Structure 1
Amino acid sequence: MSAALLGEDSEISQEQLYELLKYAALGKCHNAAQPSWCRIYHQSHLAGVVVVVLHEMSQLHFYRFYLQFKRLRRMFRHVSPQTASLSSKLLPVLKPPPRDNGCSGISCITKSSDLQCDPIIQRYGGKKQGLTSYTLTLEEQKKNDYPIEGSPGCKGYISTECDQQRTDSSPLFGLDCEMCLTAKGNEVTRVSLVDARGQCLLNELVKPESTVVNYRTRFSGITRKMLLPVKTRLSDIQTRLKKMLPHDAVLVGHSLNSDLQALEMIHPSVIDTSLLFARSEGRRFKLKFLAKAVLGKEIQCEQKLGHDPTEDARAALELAQFFIEQGPTKLNSIALFLILCSTIVLYLFEPCLLLSLQILQRALEDVPLSKFSIIQFSLGPEYLASHLHAGLHEKVRSKLTDMLTIYAGPFEENFCMKSVKKEFGRCGPIQSLTVVTETFQPYVCIQYEVLEAAQLAVECLNGAEVAGSCIKVQRPVTAAMLDCNVLIKELELDVENQGVIYVAGLKKSLTETDLQEEFSQLKDLETLFLPKDLQSGKHRNCCFLKFQKTQSAVDALEAINGWTMKGSELRSRNALAPGHLWKWIWQTNHSNGKQGKHIFYEKMEQLCDSVSVRLC
Structure 2
Amino acid sequence: MAKAVCVNGLKRPAGGGEGAGGRLAARKRRRKADGGGPEEKSSRLSAALFGEDCEISCDQLYELLKYAALGKCHNATQPSWCRIYQQSHLAGVVVVVLHEMSQLHFYKFYLQFKHLRKVFQHRFTLTPSTNFLASLYGGANLKPENTAQGLTSAGSECVPKSSDLECDPIIRKYGEKKRGLTSYTLTLEEQKKNDYPIKGSPGCKGYIYTECDQQRTDSSPLFGLDCEMCLTAKGSEVTRVSLVDAQGQCLLNELVKPEGVIVNYRTRFSGITKKMLCPVKTRLPDIQTRLKKMLPHDAVLVGHSLNSDLQALKMIHPSVIDTSLLFARNEGRRFKLKFLAKAVLGFLDCLQVTGQRPLLLGRQELESSGLCQSNLSISNKEILQRALEDVPLSTFSIVQFSLDPEYVASHLLAGLCEKVRSKLTDMLTIYVGPFEEGFCLKSVKKEFGRCGPIQSLTVVTETYQPHVCIQYEVLEAAQLAVESLNGAEVAGSCIKVQRPVTAAMLDSDVLIKELELDVENEGVIYVAGLKKSLTETDLKEEFSQLKDLETLFLPKDLQSGKHRNCCFLKFQKSQSAVDALEVIHGWTVKGSKLRSRNALASGHLWKWIWQMNRSDGKQGGNILHERMKQLSDLEQDLTKKVKKLDHHIKKLYRSLQNNTLCVVLFPGVNSMDGSQSGLGLMAIKDDGGRSAC
Using structure 2 for the length normalisation, give the TM-score: 0.50
**How far off its partner does 1:491 sit?**
1.4
* Paired amino acid for 1:336: L
**How far off its partner does 1:9 sit?**
5.7
Match of 1:271 in 2: 237
1:559 to 580, 583, 590: 583
1:493 to 517, 528, 532: 517
**How far off its partner does 1:462 sit?**
0.9
- Structure 2 CA distance for partners of 1:163 and 1:366, relative to 1, 3 Å: closer
Matched, 1:18 2:65: no
Question: What is the alpha-carbon distance in structure 2 between the residues aligned to residue 28 and residue 279 of structure 1?
Answer: 33
- Structure 2 CA distance for partners of 1:405 and 1:68, relative to 1, 3 Å: same
* Paired amino acid for 1:504: A
Question: What is the alpha-carbon distance in structure 2 between the residues aligned to residue 389 and residue 587 of structure 1?
Answer: 16
Match of 2:400 in 1: 376
Matched, 1:412 2:436: yes
Q: What does 1:48-59 correspond to in 2, within 5 Å? A: 49-59=93-103
Do the aligned partners of 1:25 and 1:49 also contact (CA within 8 Å) in 2? Answer: yes
Question: What is the alpha-carbon distance in structure 2 between the residues aligned to residue 576 and residue 367 of structure 1?
Answer: 39
1:503 to 509, 523, 527: 527
1:166 to 201, 206, 225: 206
Matched, 1:439 2:463: yes
* Paired amino acid for 1:335: E
Match of 1:184 in 2: none
- The DSSP-based 3-state class of the residue aligned with 1:79 is strand
1:400 to 406, 421, 424: 424
State the Cα deviation string for residues 341-373 of structure 1 (Å, max 9, x = none).
Answer: 9xxxxxx9xxxxxx9x99646425554677654
- Structure 2 CA distance for partners of 1:537 and 1:27, relative to 1, 3 Å: closer
Do the aligned partners of 1:254 and 1:316 also contact (CA within 8 Å) in 2? Answer: no
State the Cα deviation string for residues 458-505 of structure 1 (Å, max 9, x = none).
Answer: 001111111121111111111111111111112112233221111112
- The DSSP-based 3-state class of the residue aligned with 2:124 is coil
Do the aligned partners of 1:505 and 1:541 also contact (CA within 8 Å) in 2? Answer: yes
Q: What does 1:404-553 correspond to in 2, within 5 Å? A: 404-533=428-557, 539-553=563-577
Matched, 1:336 2:379: no
Matched, 1:582 2:606: yes
* Paired amino acid for 2:442: K
2:231 to 256, 274, 278: 256
- Structure 2 CA distance for partners of 1:288 and 1:479, relative to 1, 3 Å: farther
- Structure 2 CA distance for partners of 1:15 and 1:558, relative to 1, 3 Å: same
* Paired amino acid for 2:59: E
Question: What is the alpha-carbon distance in structure 2 between the residues aligned to residue 519 and residue 290 of structure 1?
Answer: 48
Match of 1:157 in 2: none
Match of 1:2 in 2: 45
Question: What is the alpha-carbon distance in structure 2 between the residues aligned to residue 530 and residue 36 of structure 1?
Answer: 21
Do the aligned partners of 1:253 and 1:317 also contact (CA within 8 Å) in 2? Answer: no
- Structure 2 CA distance for partners of 1:409 and 1:8, relative to 1, 3 Å: closer
Do the aligned partners of 1:503 and 1:571 also contact (CA within 8 Å) in 2? Answer: yes
1:287 to 273, 276, 295: 273
* C-alpha RMSD over aligned residues: 4.6
Match of 1:97 in 2: none
Question: What is the alpha-carbon distance in structure 2 between the residues aligned to residue 583 and residue 384 of structure 1?
Answer: 24
Do the aligned partners of 2:455 and 2:471 also contact (CA within 8 Å) in 1? Answer: yes
- Structure 2 CA distance for partners of 1:28 and 1:515, relative to 1, 3 Å: closer
**How far off its partner does 1:574 sit?**
0.7
**How far off its partner does 1:422 sit?**
1.3
- Percent of aligned pairs with the same amino acid: 70
**How far off its partner does 1:554 sit?**
0.7
Match of 1:191 in 2: none
- The DSSP-based 3-state class of the residue aligned with 2:208 is coil
Do the aligned partners of 2:239 and 2:272 also contact (CA within 8 Å) in 1? Answer: no
Question: What is the alpha-carbon distance in structure 2 between the residues aligned to residue 320 and residue 490 of structure 1?
Answer: 48
- Structure 2 CA distance for partners of 1:274 and 1:502, relative to 1, 3 Å: same
Q: Please, which moves more after superposition, 534-543 or 404-413?
A: 534-543
- Structure 2 CA distance for partners of 1:281 and 1:468, relative to 1, 3 Å: closer
- Structure 2 CA distance for partners of 1:324 and 1:568, relative to 1, 3 Å: farther
- Structure 2 CA distance for partners of 1:369 and 1:479, relative to 1, 3 Å: same
* Paired amino acid for 2:605: L
- Structure 2 CA distance for partners of 1:402 and 1:3, relative to 1, 3 Å: same
Match of 2:113 in 1: 69
**How far off its partner does 1:545 sit?**
1.7
State the Cα deviation string for residues 352-405 of structure 1 (Å, max 9, x = none).
Answer: xxx9x9964642555467765443322223324444211000001111111110
* Paired amino acid for 1:439: T
Q: What does 1:91-490 correspond to in 2, within 5 Å? A: 165-168=205-208, 255-257=230-232, 260=233, 267=234, 270-273=236-239, 283-291=269-277, 299=278, 315=280, 318=283, 321=286, 325=290, 333-336=363-366, 360=384, 362-363=386-387, 365=389, 367=391, 372-490=396-514
Question: What is the alpha-carbon distance in structure 1 between the residues aligned to residue 285 and residue 537 of structure 2?
Answer: 67
Question: What is the alpha-carbon distance in structure 2 between the residues aligned to residue 461 and residue 418 of structure 1?
Answer: 16
- The DSSP-based 3-state class of the residue aligned with 1:402 is helix
- Structure 2 CA distance for partners of 1:590 and 1:562, relative to 1, 3 Å: closer
**How far off its partner does 1:551 sit?**
0.6
**Relative contact order higher in (CA < 8 Å, ≥ 6 apart):** 2
**How far off its partner does 1:61 sit?**
0.8
- The DSSP-based 3-state class of the residue aligned with 1:515 is helix
State the Cα deviation string for residues 78-123 of structure 1 (Å, max 9, x = none).
Answer: 22222242528989xxxxxxxxxxxxxxxxxxxxxxxxxxxxxxxx
**How far off its partner does 1:14 sit?**
2.5
Greater gyration radius: 1
Match of 1:604 in 2: none
Unaligned runs of 5+ in 2: 1-43, 136-180, 182-192, 197-201, 211-226, 243-254, 256-263, 295-351, 355-360, 619-692
Question: What is the alpha-carbon distance in structure 2 between the residues aligned to residue 76 and residue 361 of structure 1?
Answer: 28
